[in-house]
Amino acid sequence: GAVVSQHPSRVICKSGTSVKIECRSLDFQATTMFWYRQFPKKSLMLMATSNEGSKATYEQGVEKDKFLINHASLTLSTLTVTSAHPEDSSFYICSASWVNTEAFFGQGTRLTVV
Amino acid sequence: EDQVTQSPEALRLQEGESSSLNCSYTVSGLRGLFWYRQDPGKGPEFLFTLYSAGEEKEKERLKATLTKKESFLHITAPKPEDSATYLCAVQAPPSGSARQLTFGSGTQLTVLP
């Protein structure tokens, strides 16, 4: 299957700082990337849909000013958690796909805000 | 609103003991049903896509089937390395759009040696 690389795999940051997570499609051009959040023993909750060259579409209840998404190229999307607080600690996962193909997922990023 | 319900939440099997995981769904116009495997601290790994009732797909000890209301993931003679959380998802948007998925809560499978 296609390869999606997510970096970093783990990050610890201080409360009030910002953290950037990268999601790269290594062997295909992803027209769309998705960002999910997963709580322990819970399923994936879609946060936003990111289309290359346009603004991301956020799901209801997701703060767009806190979770900044950029999809500047067909192989890279970034999620920046701004002014992070302990309640933002979670497992963040990206996925990438192009029209009518399966979505392939990154390895996930464990964010801990202390 | 699309809904996906997986059962059981957790399943413990002895090595070699076959069983099935269930995924019930409610969606207006199913475009695709997906099965993923997720290991702890990792992203989901794609297993199968099913598109229409009656369709079946196999991979090693896994077989996925689909009806109009549910999907089953059959595990035949499982091994400890099959231990993982298995996620079911349905595609929400109209065809022609990239794969926006609605996930179930998963079944945590443990296979004991």
Q: Which of B41, B95, B104 sits opposite A43 (nearest CB)?
A: B104
What pLDDT was estimated at residue B23? 98
- How many contacts does A have with B, using Cβ atoms within 8 A? 64
Q: Residue A104: its chain B contacts at CB < 8 A?
A: 46
**Does B99 contact A102 at a Cβ distance shorter than 8 Å?**
yes
Residue B3 near residue B36, CB atoms below 8 Å: no
pLDDT in tens, B42-61: 999 999 999 999 999 999 99
* A35/chain B closest Cα distance in angstroms: 10
Q: Which of B26, B23, B24 is nearest to B3 (CA)?
A: B26
Select the more confidently predicted residue: B86 or B95. Answer: B86
C-alpha B29, offset from chain centre: 19
Burial class (CB in 10 A: 0-12, 13-18, 19+), A76: middle
Select the more confidently predicted residue: B102 or A13. Answer: A13
Q: Which of B43, B99, B100 sits opposite A106 (nearest CB)?
A: B43
In the structure encoding, which two tokens stand for residue A22, read together? 């990268």
* A6/chain B closest Cα distance in angstroms: 9
Alpha carbons A29 and A24: distance in angstroms, whole number: 9
Q: Residue B96: its chain A contacts at CB < 8 A?
A: 99-100
pLDDT bracket for residue B96 (50, 70, 90): very low
pLDDT bracket for residue A76 (50, 70, 90): very high
What pLDDT was estimated at residue B35? 96
What pLDDT was estimated at residue A72? 80
**Does B99 contact A93 at a Cβ distance shorter than 8 Å?**
no
The answer to which of A5-14, A48-57, A61-70, B11-20 has the lowest mean pLDDT is A48-57
A6 touches chain B (CB under 8 A): yes
